[in-house]
Amino acid sequence: MEVKVRIDGVDHKAQAQLIAGTLWVHYNGRVFTQDATTGRKSRKKGGAGGSSDQIVAPMPGKVTKLLLAPGAAVAAGQAVLVMEAMKMEYTLKAEIAGTIDSVNCAVGEQVVLGKALVKIKPASDK
């Protein structure tokens, strides 16, 4: 669905989806959530949502690019994969530095909200 959001007094159109009691609003490459049962707001970055050693799907969508393979070194903030959802492209980034431990998705795969896509072995665990 399309919703209107107001930022600094200016109205913008954004895409939104209600999934399992949470309203997911996608605007300008960012994802915002609101618990529909309590009305409590939160903000999630693309790729966030699970533990910091995992990259999880912040929304249902299609994986379009895998930028790193298992065994590759990754820096905090480095792009790891790209997914497409709601007619927008999202680059999911690592929250920590380390090594790609496993990739649990493939290019072209449709993934569900919250699916663990990539597991990162923290640099301190080497």
Residues in the chain, total: 126
- Model pTM? 0.64
Q: Does domain 2-122 have CATH number 4.10.490.10?
A: no
pLDDT tens for the 126 residues of the chain, in order:
888 888 888 998 988 877 777 777 777 767 777 777 776 665 554 444 444 788 988 888 999 999 999 999 999 999 999 999 878 888 999 989 999 999 999 999 999 888 899 999 998 755
- Where along the chain do its domains lie? 2-122
| Residue whose structure tokens are 């790209």 | 82
